[in-house]
Amino acid sequence: MRFGFTEEQERFRASVRKMLRSAEVRAAAAEATGADGVEPDARPLYRLLGERRLLAVHWPVEYGGEGRPLTDAAIVAEELVHAGVPDTLHVNTIQIVGQFLLMAGSDEQKRRYLPALARGEGFASVLYTEPDAGSDLGELRAVAEPDGDGYRITGTKVFSLKTRFVDLGLCAARTTPGTGKYQGISLFLVDMAAPGVTVSVIPSVGDEHFHRVDLDSVPVSGDSLLGPRDEGWPLLNEALAIERTGLDYHLKAEHWLKAALDALIDGDQDSAHDAHLERIGRWHGALAADHVLAWEVLTGLATGQVDQVSAAVAKYHSSELAQSIAVWAADVPSPGQRAHRSRAALTLDSAYREAPGLTLSAGTSEVMLQIMAAAFDSIGQEEH
């Protein structure tokens, strides 16, 4: 995709949309959508999607996929959000942990985990962030100490989503302390039902709950190590670039703007509509540019090109845009809509509470700007 989609991509999109319009999927999506701080279990919905082979279409057939290009997986992701499917389990399980397994997992790890994830029978989460380290893995304190043929992991992880619903955690821990901030870090696949794992909810204002995961000498086997020992940081850098397409944030921004337009159309503020027209036009223009940025990254990834700078630009633009739309749209529902708790008002209330975290997850906006600045500085030095 440069500025449009091929006929084959449009046919594929139409077939996905048709499957998602079934009464069974629509009912399950409605049941899985949270509001007012209540977070329902979305796993039954994902099992339906897995039965329809919609969760991991770009994975090899032997691992439960359809062998389609990565760009088709992005089309599915767009249509899932358009159909009202809460996307966090899909992002964490398929787009992050599943993609990490495809990139760095052993053949045995892929055979063991990927088919269940693709069927919607297994779910995964990311265990990186720590209480005193934030998103800076250079301050990582969790340790994995050798124990026979395996390891025992001790530490605390925070701010992971959907963690009480998942079976597998992708955990970053130090295997060789004292070797430097970004050295000696390894990645492990942790059974979330293992002894020593405690998951608790962190109170927050969002409808999706953050979790704290305490790891108390949790046993993991040697074959739970994902990638080479002590080489977690280079793997994380590559995986984060893949994660930062910006598409998921773009879809949130698009969804929230649509809810604001619905509120304006259905509300009792007809005289105020004209005041929003210029702003709405600017939002639509920004969303169109945002979509192109995301798909430029995706198209590159589909051909094996990981461009960290383009990914940083897409992530920065999309997360800042989504946050800005959420803040603006919070004032759109009329008093009557708020009092009667219309669907649009509930959506925009939830968006306002979720928005602050968008410029933090997958790398803060400040980190994205640093990546861009370093690239421009390097270009400037080469020119001189």
Domain boundaries, the chain: 7-122, 126-235, 244-383
pLDDT in the model for residue 277: 86
pLDDT in the model for residue 271: 55
Q: What architecture (CATH level 2) is domain 7-122?
A: Orthogonal Bundle (1.10)
pLDDT in the model for residue 48: 96
126-235 CATH pick, 2.40.110.10, 3.10.50.40, 3.40.50.1000, 3.30.300.90 = 2.40.110.10
Q: pLDDT confidence of 272, banded at 50, 70, 90?
A: low
Q: What architecture (CATH level 2) is domain 244-383?
A: Up-down Bundle (1.20)
Let me know: does 46 contact 62? Beta carbons within 8 Å: no
pLDDT in the model for residue 384: 53
**What number of other Cβ atoms are within 10 A of residue 121's Cβ?**
15
pLDDT in the model for residue 117: 98
Percent of the chain with pLDDT over 70: 95
Question: Measuring CA to CA, which residue among 244, 252, 204 is closest to residue 85?
Answer: 252
Assign 3-state DSSP to the chain and report helix, strand, coil percentages, each to 5. 55, 15, 30
Region of poorest pLDDT, from 12-26, 76-90, 101-115, 296-310 = 296-310
Q: pLDDT confidence of 346, banded at 50, 70, 90?
A: confident
Enter the pTM of the model: 0.88
Tens digits of per-residue pLDDT, 157-187? 998 889 999 999 999 999 998 888 889 999 9
- Spell 17-41 as b/e; 16+ CB within 10 A means b: eebbeeeebeebbeebbbeeeebbe
pLDDT in the model for residue 4: 79
Tens digits of per-residue pLDDT, 220-268? 999 999 999 999 998 888 787 778 899 999 999 999 999 999 988 887 5
Q: pLDDT confidence of 37, banded at 50, 70, 90?
A: low
